[in-house]
Structure 1
Amino acid sequence: MTTATPETIRQRWIATSPLPDDEVIQNYLADAEMMIFDEIPDLRDRLAADDAGTLAAKIALVEFQMVSQIFRNPDGIRQRSQSAGSYTDQTTYGVETLAGEMVLTPAHRAMLASGAKRAYGVDMTAGPPVASPLAGVLINGPLGTGPGGR
């Protein structure tokens, strides 16, 4: 049972190309979920303990994005041109899209990662001035006895 459903895909679909039947969508969703659970082993246990449903919503979003990669341009066509003159019909296929593979991106992994892993930084700006070790030392003698004193 996948977290996302074919209805989830249909509700979020904005491309002009039609989606396939629900059975095909469900098969791709199952593949996406299998990939997610294989790459993040503790996700099933965390999902079982997800009372608020936030993790389930994140998984559904990741599944939608992974399956959308497949359905956006299923033929892998980069360019198509047609002419009426000499009956020219030309199609250019994008080599990078021919594989038609779903990919779990680093952004997806970060979204589904356990724990509160946050980026951190170090403030390299100057802080408050540090008191000099010579503060209060009378270098030229007491007031009025040094050069320029009165």
Structure 2
Amino acid sequence: MSWTSTDDVIGSWIGDDAPTNTAQVQVWIDRAERMLRQRFTTLQTRIDEGEPDLLETVKDTVSAMVQRVFRNPEGIRQTSVTTGPFSEQRTYGGNQPGALYIADEEAGALTGRVVSGAYEIDPLIGYTYPGSGPVIL
């Protein structure tokens, strides 16, 4: 059973270079969904139980995973084209350009955990200053 259709992937494509070979898109959808099933073993159960927005989040994640592969199938990190005095450079982001992978933000959305690069710890929470009551922040 597939959660994501080829229409989901192609329909959310930005730009004029959307893939036209739906059979090939389906191959990559199947691979992406297998990867999700292996990493998030309770995903189908959570979808069946009706967890809000989870099915749509899965579709968004699979679409993004597949689109990353199709946008950079050779796995190129950087390109540069020079014509006369003009040059154009493009750098592809991510640790694995062109590869099928789950981004940290996508994994966070599927688990319900917010992925953040920074956090704060207040060492004075609950501290009582001499001669006063608890600190209320």
Q: Sequence identity of aligned pairs in percent?
A: 20
- What residue is the counterpart of 1:88 in the other structure? none
58 and 126 in structure 1: CA distance in 2 versus 1, 3 angstrom threshold: closer
Query: 1:79 offset after TM fit, Å?
Result: 3.0
Query: 1:121 offset after TM fit, Å?
Result: 5.1
Question: What's the TM-score, normalizing by structure 1?
Answer: 0.62
CA contact (8 A) 1:32 1:63 kept: yes
- What residue is the counterpart of 2:110 in the other structure? 112
- What residue is the counterpart of 1:63 in the other structure? 62
8 and 129 in structure 1: CA distance in 2 versus 1, 3 angstrom threshold: same
Q: RMSD of the alignment, in Å?
A: 3.2
- Point out where structure 1 has 5 or more consecutive residues left out of the alignment: 84-93, 134-150
CA contact (8 A) 1:15 1:72 kept: no
CA deviation vs aligned residue, 1:40-62 (integer Å, no higher than 9, x gap): 1111211111264x110010010
Query: Could you tell me how far apart the structure 2 residues matched to 1:51 and 1:130 are?
Result: 45
Query: Could you tell me how far apart the structure 1 residues matched to 2:51 and 2:107 are?
Result: 21
Query: 1:122 offset after TM fit, Å?
Result: 3.9
CA deviation vs aligned residue, 1:79-128 (integer Å, no higher than 9, x gap): 34568xxxxxxxxxx8x64xx42011222211111xx5468854346879
Query: Could you tell me how far apart the structure 1 residues matched to 2:41 and 2:128 are?
Result: 50
- What residue is the counterpart of 1:8 in the other structure? 8
Q: Counterpart of 1:79 in 2: which secondary structure?
A: strand
Structure 1 segment 1-150 matched on structure 2, within 5 A? 1-50=1-50, 52=52, 54-76=53-75, 78-81=79-82, 97=97, 100-113=98-111, 117=113, 122-124=121-123, 130=129, 132=131
Query: Could you tell me how far apart the structure 2 residues matched to 1:40 and 1:11 are?
Result: 25
CA contact (8 A) 1:55 1:112 kept: yes
Query: How many correspondences in the alignment?
Result: 117
AA aligned opposite 1:73:
N
125 and 10 in structure 1: CA distance in 2 versus 1, 3 angstrom threshold: same
Q: Counterpart of 1:60 in 2: which secondary structure?
A: helix
43 and 128 in structure 1: CA distance in 2 versus 1, 3 angstrom threshold: closer
Structure with higher Rg: it is 1
- Point out where structure 2 has 5 or more consecutive residues left out of the alignment: 85-91, 133-137
Query: Could you tell me how far apart the structure 1 residues matched to 2:50 and 2:125 are?
Result: 44
